[in-house]
Amino acid sequence: MGIFSRLRTVIAANINALINKAEKPEKMLNQLLIDMKEQLIESKKAVAMAIADEKKLEREMNSQKTQSDEWQRRAVLAVQNGKDDLAKEALLRKQEYDNYYQEYGKQWEAQKEAVERLKNSLLELQTKIEEAQRKKNLLIARAKRAEAEQKIQDTMSGMDGNKASFDTFERMSQKVDELEARAEASKELSNFSADTSLEKKFAELEKPASNADKLLADLKGQMSALPDKSGT
């Protein structure tokens, strides 16, 4: 089980190293998956070695059983031939192999259980790596969106920092509005003055003659109606 503890340690160290370097999330995730797959390969090798050890223990156990059975056969053969002393030696040798058989059997059972746990852990690790592979693109998309939002927020914060510039811009805008209003007023006053002058001229023409002017006109009319006394 130690190989998987080391794997988690290595992966965690790589994650922390990448984060501390402030790498882009896409690069971080790709590198992380590469590290995971490399460690998975090493883990598979370790599990394969554990399986090989299990098979070796099983072969040794079976070999001890075979030797025990062989010495059992020899003991029977010795008894059949009246060789009790030889049979005793064969039985002692059989007992020795039986003891080894039992010890190898215990070791084989323990190794077999360990191999099963390693296989399950390896399968779980492989499943998680495959899941990480599927999630990678989604995480990258989320990271890019967050990065874009951060840039917008930074831009807005920068605008807040340049408030004086924006205030000046606003004052200039108000100044332009004021200049335009003055120009419109001047234009309106100019038109008003021109219209007033024209109105005065027509008013003079249309103004009725004064009483003295009327009397003078009547006198001139009467004089023109009298006969010419000069004889012409």
Q: How confident is the model at residue 2 (pLDDT cuts 50, 70, 90)?
A: low
Tokens of 184: 């419109």
Which of the residue ranges 129-138, 182-191, 201-210 has the most confident prediction, judged by mean pLDDT? 129-138
Residue 59 pLDDT greater than 80, yes or no? yes
Q: What is the C-alpha separation between 232 and 227, in angstroms, rounded?
A: 10
| Domain boundaries of the chain, sorted by first residue | 2-162, 169-205
pLDDT for residue 3 is more than 60:
no
pTM of the model: 0.52
Give residue-wise pLDDT tens across range 100-109.
999 999 999 9
Structure tokens of 107?
């070791």
Q: Name every residue whose Cβ is closer than 8 Å to that of residue 90 and which is 6 or more positions away in sequence.
A: 71, 72, 74, 75, 78
| 118 within 8 A of 50, measured Cβ to Cβ | yes
CA-to-CA separations, 220 to 11, 70, 210, 214, in angstroms, rounded: 128, 177, 16, 10
Looking at per-residue confidence, does 82 or 154 come out higher?
Answer: 82
Distance from the first to the final alpha carbon of the chain: 157
**Which of the residue ranges 30-39, 51-60, 208-217, 220-229 has the most confident prediction, judged by mean pLDDT?**
51-60
Q: Average model confidence (pLDDT) for the chain?
A: 80
Q: Which long-range contacts (CB under 8 A, 24 or more apart) does 117-124 make?
A: 117/1, 118/1, 118/3, 118/4, 118/46, 118/47, 118/50, 119/47, 121/1, 121/4, 122/4, 122/40, 122/43, 122/44, 122/47
Q: Which of 34-48, 79-93, 157-171 has the lowest mean pLDDT?
A: 157-171
Task: Evaluate if residue 57 carries a pLDDT over 80.
Answer: yes
CA atoms of 143 and 158, how far apart (whole Å): 22
For 223, half-sphere exposure in the C-beta direction (CA atoms, 13 angstrom radius) is 6
Please indicate whether residue 45 or residue 210 has the higher confidence score (pLDDT).
45
Q: Which two tokens stand for residue 172?
A: 């200039």
Contacts from 36-45 at CB under 8 Å and sequence distance 24+? 36/11, 36/129, 36/132, 37/129, 39/7, 39/10, 39/11, 40/7, 40/122, 40/125, 40/126, 40/129, 42/3, 42/7, 43/3, 43/4, 43/7, 43/122, 43/125, 44/122
Tens-place pLDDT, residues 138-159: 877 887 887 788 788 877 776 6
pLDDT value at residue 1: 46
- The answer on pLDDT for 42 being more than 80 is yes
Name residue 150's amino acid: Q
